Structure 1
Amino acid sequence: MAEPIEAEVIQIDNDDSSATSSQLSCFTASLSDSAINYPIEFGRRYHAFRPGSYLFPNDELELQRLDLTHEMMVKGTSGKLFHSPLDPAKTKRIMDIGTGTGIWAMVMADVFPGAEVLGNDLSPVQPSWVPPNVKFEVDDVESPWLHEKPFDFIFSRYMCACIADWPKLVGNIFAGLNPGGWAEFQDFDLEYYSDDGSLREEHDVMKWDRLFLEAVRKTGREVSPGPRLEGWVRDAGFQGVLHRKFKFPIGPWPLDPTLKEVGMYNLVQIENGLEAFSLKLFSGILGWEAEDVKALLMKVRSDLRDKRIHSYFNFHVVYGQKPE
């Protein structure tokens, strides 16, 4: 029987003043034309390839937020870029699914200089100056896989609200590995929690979170894959499966210095993406007027910065090996 997955209770910093704006600001391949003919909605730029399959922007503001979120995810998971027990001598081909800005793939290319690293994404927003062993491609990971050679390590991170059929994706990843290869999945449970009852249903941030989850689910995509990753990975045939859960606080309310920093990263990345997350989904899926969405978001920001509300969400890391 697998060991129970439970994160520790976060100790609270009793300075219950709100996080201030000054704190936040201080903390703070050739492609076809069809892939870069980006549409503009609600003042933000969105991807063009397979429109509708990704719900969030791909403009510079979003790319900056994604790089910040990368730092948060690494710091919040014990400072590790990956958790799988990789053997550098056997890790020659690495794939990064939904690579985004490409930051993880480029760092991995430095860590494994003898490996080829391939990052794919719906948007060609990655930099052109990259390590020589990195390649980026525009592709939909939910389409049939056409790679000529299998991989030794396949990495999937932050694909919540992006995938319609997770068991199929995990099965494709299993099939795309060499025998003995590893796959790692890192993803969110985007339901907000508090351990001490300080986050209540009547809070505007909780109302927003419930509406956000509802809107994404109406698109047919899984918004909180984290808790289900282990089951999908085991069902696909992986062995040696390990599952860890990490708490990511929202705001600098924890007493622990590392969690406090993770909380500040989290607060900044949520605030930087809040309007982009909400306007398209709430207006396009739930039928809200844009003015009403913005009015709600003003209240949500106040709740997010209130250190008396000790909210967090969970981040899950699951890895497994394809049998030899």
Structure 2
Amino acid sequence: MASPKEKSTSPAPASPSSQHGALNVPSVDVEVESLEVEDDGDSAYGNDLESYTTSLKSTVLNYRFENGRRYHGYKDEATYFWPNDDEENDRLDLYHHVQTLSLDGALHLAPIGDEPQRILDVGTGTGIWAIDMGDKYPSAEILGNDISPIQPTLVPPNVKFEVDDLEEEWVYSTKFDYIHVRYLACSIRDWPKLMRQCFKFVKPGGWVEFQDFDTWFYTRGGLYTKDSKLSQWTDKLREGLRKFGNEPDPGPQIEGWVREAGFANVEARTFPFPVGTWPKDKKLKEIGAFNLVQLLDNLEGLTTRIYHNAFGWNPDEVKVLCADLRQELKNPRMLLQHNYYVVWGQKPLNAVD
């Protein structure tokens, strides 16, 4: 298994509250490439599946359509604010590429061995990670769950998907060797409960791994400030999400939650995710380019529903805001980045659920 380069990692900050208002990146160093830019800043750059989901298909495929975008139709619409249409799915697949690129091609960092038998991918999204794992580990039975049935039907024979609300009580009859949870920032109300469910349904000696973000942007000495449109946008996203009980900033809190749930041998890494091609390092420059593209392509998808539901904004107001955000994102002198947190831990062999 490939491992991340040492210079790309550092201990995670203790809590997001300690970062509020801070515009210098905590602990994760990225060297800036020399830029020649005009001062005006205008330059751009299993069985569980069959036992539970059959009766739900007609309900979950009854999608909701709002402001030209498609959203899930399963239960409480306030639990997940992002679209599930092709445009958003393309963004999620691009993010999968960025995340694996950050980990030097690795799909996970937990030491799960060469022949894991049963793997759960919580909040699988488009299913791309589960499919890649199915190809890598033919010994494993891999199950992915999600609130939207957007996964492909042509998948490896050892990969299956189910529709489920992962915040409800899990009903699996067989425990897992490895549980993988990725990219659920802004989507979960009760993270400690999620940790407890992972602990209950992983085998003694098995592993869990969480990979996620917070919503803060930082700068390495660039033009980004707390008064910028981007800073105001993320402040408002956090405010809106918390109105509905969703946690927008799980990344730096995950290590503490994993330990509190009872996992042992816990390890944590923090990776820089630049926005744009400003880093000098070749890999970080590539990550930054893809990260910029995925933001520019779907700002409306990330903004419209939460701004409408929480603050009453109409689509035209959102479009004007997103145009302003794109101008700031395209400015390489902002030197933007955010952080990516990876935490893994092992269930003790003598653990009691």
TM-score > 0.5, shorter chain as reference: yes
CA distance in 2, matches of 1:236, 1:92: 23
CA distance in 1 between partners of 2:222 and 2:277 (Å): 17
Counterpart CA distance in 1 for 2:221 and 2:144 is 41
Change in 2 beyond 3 A, CA 1:41/1:246 = same
Look up the SS of the partner of 1:247 in the other structure. Answer: strand
Letter in 2 for 1:201: K
- C-alpha distance in 1, partners of 2:121/2:104? 20
Residue in 2 aligned with 1:291?
A: 316
Task: After TM superposition, give the deviation of residue 4 of structure 1 in Å.
Answer: 4.1
Q: Is the 8 A contact 2:254 2:343 kept in 1?
A: yes
Aligned residues of 1:191 and 1:313 also touching (Cα < 8 A): yes
Aligned mate of 1:242, from 264, 267, 286: 267
Give the 3 Å change call, closer, same or farther, for CA 301–322 of structure 1 in structure 2. same
Which SS does the other structure have where 2:204 is aligned? strand
1:87 corresponds to:
113
Choose from 86, 102, 120 the match for 1:60: 86
Secondary structure of the structure 1 residue equivalent to 2:194? helix
Larger displacement relative to structure 2 (145-154 or 49-58): 49-58
Which runs of no fewer than 5 residues in structure 2 stay unpaired?
A: 1-9, 13-25
Instruction: Report how far residue 85 of structure 1 moved.
Output: 0.8
Change (3 A) 1:259 1:292: same
- Residue number in structure 1 paired with 2:151: 126
Displacement of 1:197 in angstroms is: 4.8
Give 1:116 shift: 0.1
2:30 matches 1:10: yes
Within-5 A mapping of 1:52-201:
52-89=78-115, 91-201=116-226
Query: What is aligned with 1:231?
Result: 256
Is the 1:54–1:162 Cα contact (8 Å) retained in structure 2?
Answer: yes
Aligned equivalents of 1:164, 1:182: Cα separation in 2: 23
Quick one: which amino acid aligns to residue 113 of structure 2?
A: D
Instruction: Note if contact 1:193-1:199 (Cα within 8 Å) is conserved in structure 2.
Output: yes
The farther-off stretch of 271-280 and 158-167 is 271-280
User: Is the deviation greater in 66-75 or in 275-284?
Assistant: 275-284
1:313 aligns with 2:338: yes
How far residue 54 of structure 1 moved from its aligned partner, in angstroms, is 1.1
Distance 2:89 2:43 in 1: 24
- C-alpha distance in 2, partners of 1:289/1:49? 24
SS in 2 for 1:318: strand
After superposition, the Cα gap between the structure-2 partners of 1:105 and 1:19, relative to the gap in structure 1 and judged at 3 Å, is: farther
C-alpha change, 1:100 and 1:16, in structure 2 (3 Å) is farther
SS in 1 for 2:233: helix
Aligned to 2:299: 274
CA distance in 2, matches of 1:19, 1:72: 23
The two structures have a TM-score, normalised by structure 1, of: 0.93
In 2: Cα distance, 1:53 partner to 1:164 partner: 8
- Cα offset, 1:96, TM superposition: 0.2
Shift of 1:279: 1.3
Q: Is the 8 A contact 1:16 1:308 kept in 2?
A: no
- Which amino acid in structure 2 is aligned with residue 64 of structure 1? D
